[in-house]
Structure 1
Amino acid sequence: MVQLPASGAYLRAVRESARKIRETQHIQVNEDAIRALLLSPAFTTTFPRLSKNHGLALPLRFSSPLAELNFLAVISLLNFASGYRAALHVETGRGAWDNIRALAFAMHIESAGDEGDLLSAAGMRSIGDGKVAELMRVNVHVERAHEQIPGVTVGELGGPMYELVRLVTKTLNETGAKLEEMGYPDLGTLVAEALRAGRKARLPDKPDADADKVLEQIVRAIPAFQDMYEVDGEPVYCFKKALFLIHAIFVRFGSLEPPPFPAPETSGLPVFSDNVIPSMLVYLGVVDLSASPLQRIFSEAQPNDDPHLKLAGLLALPLEIKKEQPRTDQPPTESSKEGPVVSAREGYILRAAAIDACETAVRVAHGMDVPADLEWIRALTLPDLDAWLWAGAKDRSDYRQLSRFMERGTVFF
């Protein structure tokens, strides 16, 4: 069983375990490809817009800052379902994150009615599969032929939507029970306490000490944030959802004067590695799998494409800009095709490689010689690179057609 990192060393554990796993699994980071990407029209023409697209616009009213913090905490807790993206597109017409957002919105709105506060510890502990399916607006039944009556079909619980609903319900139930056991009325209260502890941990010579403390307290308390694995006897720590939550708090509250919560500064946080960011880095040539057995995952996904021609196209000016097509307010339609399925081990290796590759990309960016009009590249931060990769994957028609690996049964991404 993987042990949690040592106290005070959570961020270091993420970075160091990612680098070690990448190296031992013979995955390379191509620094020339990083430079080519950072200077490419694909990056420079879209970065100012996409790097601030965190998917955190919340068209909701909250009774207090703590209620909003609780909402951010719950939506971060539920920030998974990427393994069901294709099935969700078929069922609802939306991808994983948009469905999770819709679920959290529905829970918030429903909590104003007679059901009680579904976002409280008690509400999370007691919510059932039926309610989750109703709020997600998905069908959790599959049809099969009747065993004795020809031509008759019967419905029974099953299929990918049922599997996802069960994962969501289990995550909410276990988290609610854990919060009640610790005496917290909701997840937001626990997070607020962690933020106060982070403020006390600030050190002038260690700028990320407060974020490290917040990460530690959240991860230690809630199993659904314990995003870690063991690969060939070595631990790998990603903590994607908890890191996302800390950055979401900074985005929402960090600029307020005075802030209602002591939000840690997050420019140095490791990226929030899911399935999108590693896949994009492979397609963009930054993560090199040529010496790794994992290369088959992406070669099988698109076996007939010339990788050199594809890379040239991916780094070029976006097709939508070339054609001067007017942008609309409607979200672009993503591909609903299934991506290559990976095991938990393979998923963690790819996610760790992406974490380390992004650390390298930011280091390279800070040392680059760039034209005066691109001087902003030298100030690139990890969260902004994360946002560009994540939002960029949904922004261009050719990027949206790129297969992303998928892992079913996980509650971590």
Structure 2
Amino acid sequence: MSSQEPPYPPSGNYVSAVKESSASLCQKAGVKVPPESIDRLLRSPAFKSSFKRVSAVHGLAFPLKFPSIVSELNFLSLLSLLNFASGYRAVLHEQTGRGAWDNIRAFAFSLYISSSTGQGDYLSAAGMRSIGEAKVAELMGVNIQVERPHEGLPGVTIGKLGGPAYELVKLIDMTLKETGKVLQENRYPDLGSFVLEALKSGANSANGHLDSVLEKLVRAIPGFRDMAIVEGQPVYCFKKALFLIHAVKIRFGELSTSPFPIPDTIQSPVFTDNVLPSLLVHLGVIDLSEATQGLSALFPGAGSVERLETLLAAAPEAEDKAKVQKQSPKEGPILSTEQAYILRAAAIYACERITEYARTIDENSLGEDEQWIRGITLPELDMWIWAVAKDRPDYRELKRFALRNTVYF
């Protein structure tokens, strides 16, 4: 990772900083998003046949009974804070049979159930600071020991802490501890209380509700400071903070009476991780052929005419879908921090271009039942890319890049 820490964006310009820094980095790194590739995607059977159905899949319906709306907000906030681990997808599948997001959700459920049954209030600031690596591993159901030869006894192996699962457990424990520390130092009983205050105080901000809440989250909580210096310039992604704000919109925005002010997220940048850019490369939207930092060689064959004919066609028969979902995913290319930020910025930039292009499509070139394409929004597009990557067996087999030792995605 770059040793330089970028400055915070100017107050009131957090959302624009995400969009502008991503576009600037793509230009400098030689990443392209050709208009003809966008048009090809939007008019493809794969997109048109699945968008409305798949973009509604958000994974934020919880089989839990919350004693209050504030309790649910706290759970949602903690889940968003821990929404990373994509670099450990393969090992998590091997140990638990689930991917990164499903493991983090299951872990958050375990935290909630343990807290509600009196086993430890891990959803509070104090509980976050005290949980420890052993408890994290227990609640996640992962093995954090690796077998190694005994130094003095030939043929004997012993278990020692180590391996990628232990690496992930340490990241989760560290994130919980540092967040709990910040909350306690500022006299918040839990993360939800801080988020609630941010939502309320940002409602009357001259800088806009979304921008104000985003700034408060990023400045206060280290786990939301998803930014770096790459190619000599700042890049801001803020994936988890933006995800949290949109999750609040999804969970509470449809209530008849809003329990607190909720930002409008229709112009929110996408919540960029490893799935969005990887899939957009495979679907031929992001062109890495002239990219720097060795990116052009990461996805051999991606974007070829032969591959796109299959991937942009309507989904194949789903008879083997359940079988494919149970298979351990293939490990994709392991990236450096700089490479990952460029690709994640590319997804932000590409999705901006896709929604802008969609609005310019001549309505006469679309059928009556296809006019909705001209109005797709960034959050809808984000949800479609993320969900369709799981929805189709052939998409699930596409390699995604991985970055280890990060708490940002």
Q: Matched residues, percent identical? A: 54
Q: What's the secondary structure of 1:123's corresponding residue?
A: helix
Q: How big is the shift at 1:257?
A: 1.6
Instruction: Please state how far the C-alpha of 1:366 moved relative to its aligned partner.
Output: 1.0
Q: AA paired with 1:26?
A: G
Say whether 1:376 aligns with 2:372: yes
Q: CA deviation at 1:147?
A: 1.6
- 1:13-412 matches, within 5 Å, as 13-201=17-205, 209-294=208-293, 297=295, 299-302=297-300, 307-320=304-317, 325=319, 332-333=325-326, 335-369=328-362, 370-412=366-408
Q: 1:195 to 1:315 in 2, by over 3 A?
A: same
C-alpha RMSD over aligned residues: 1.7
Residue 216 of structure 1 deviates from its aligned partner by: 0.6
SS of equivalent to 2:116: coil
Aligned 8 A contact 1:335 1:400 in 2? no
For residues 138 and 155 of structure 1, what CA distance do their matches in structure 2 show?
14
Q: How far does the alpha carbon of each residue in 1:90-143 deviate from its partner, in whole angstroms, 9 at most, with x for none?
A: 010100000000000000000012333111101001110000000000000000
Moved more, 140-149 or 95-104: 140-149
Displacement of 1:298 in angstroms is 6.7
CA distance in 2, matches of 1:332, 1:342: 25
Deviates more, 1:98-107 or 1:45-54: 45-54
Q: What is the TM-score when the length of structure 1 is the normalising length?
A: 0.94
Equivalent residue letter for 2:36: D
Q: TM-score, normalised by structure 2?
A: 0.95
Partners of 2:317 and 2:42 lie apart in 1 by 20
Quickly say closer, same or farther: Cα 1:326–1:299, change in 2 above 3 A.
closer
Verify the 8 A CA contact 1:25 1:292 in the aligned structure 2: yes
Give the 3-state SS of the residue equivalent to 2:93 in structure 1.
Answer: helix
Report the residue type matching 1:394 in the other structure. Answer: K
Q: Which runs of 5+ in 1 are unaligned?
A: 204-208
Equivalent-residue separation in structure 2 for 1:221 and 1:389 (angstroms): 30
Give the distance between the partners of 2:305 and 2:97, measured in 1 at CA: 32
What are the superposed Cα offsets for residues 57-87 of structure 1, whole Å, 9 maximum, x if unpaired?
1111101000000000000000000000001
Do the aligned partners of 1:90 and 1:336 also contact (CA within 8 Å) in 2? Answer: no
How far has the Cα of 1:326 moved from its partner?
9.7
Q: What is the distance in 1 between the residues matched to 2:324 and 2:387? A: 11
**Deviation at 1:408?**
0.3
Q: Which amino acid in 1 is paired with 2:304?
A: P
